[in-house]
Amino acid sequence: MDTKLFRLAFLLMASQLLAICASGQIYMTKTGQTSFFSETPLENISAVNQQVAVLLNSASGEIAVRMQHRAFSFPNKLMQEHYNENYMETEKYPAASFTGKFSEPIDYARDGTYAVSAEGVLDIHGVRQKRVLKGQLVVDHGQCILNCEFDVRLSDHHIQVPTLVIAKIAESISVKNKFVLTGKKNP
């Protein structure tokens, strides 16, 4: 690429990035909490992950969530082993993610509670699925608290359950998220 053309392209991209950054703020956490629960007549399975990374751009409404499967903590180590090795295949699919954008405008400068929905892509077990996730966003003195609950059907993400234990694992898993995001002012 021509040096002058490269400089012009770089300046255009930099000016667009500065315009976006100047009008917004990035909210983030590396200690978000995601839990899941599987209820069946034979056995309940639950786990919590307190190392979920989340970025929220207040200017664009874009949100990105990423978690490592091995960070889920189970009350029973055997459940944790089965989750990682047999169901989630964490050697092959180490992480789950959601990238999307809020549909509603939010006034991040004003404390309040907002019903939100984010349209985006949920990636679990290597299967990307378009989803609209609904929740509640609380803006409180410079931080955002995002709560979101949704269900994940195992078959939607090609997660196989052996016939021997099919009665112990629900077909649909209830997922709960609580993310406390702090603001980081952009330059």
pLDDT, tens digit, 9 for 90 and up, residues 57-112? 999 999 999 999 999 999 989 889 989 988 899 999 999 999 999 999 999 999 99
Of 132, 150, 169, which is closest to residue 35 (Cα–Cα)? 150
Contacts of 182 (CB under 8 A, 6+ apart): 27, 28, 29, 142, 143
In this predicted structure, what is the pLDDT of residue 2? Answer: 47
Contact yes or no for 75/88 (Cβ under 8 A)? no
Instruction: Give this prediction's pTM.
Output: 0.82
Q: Of all helices (H) and strands (E), which one includes residue 8?
A: helix 3-22
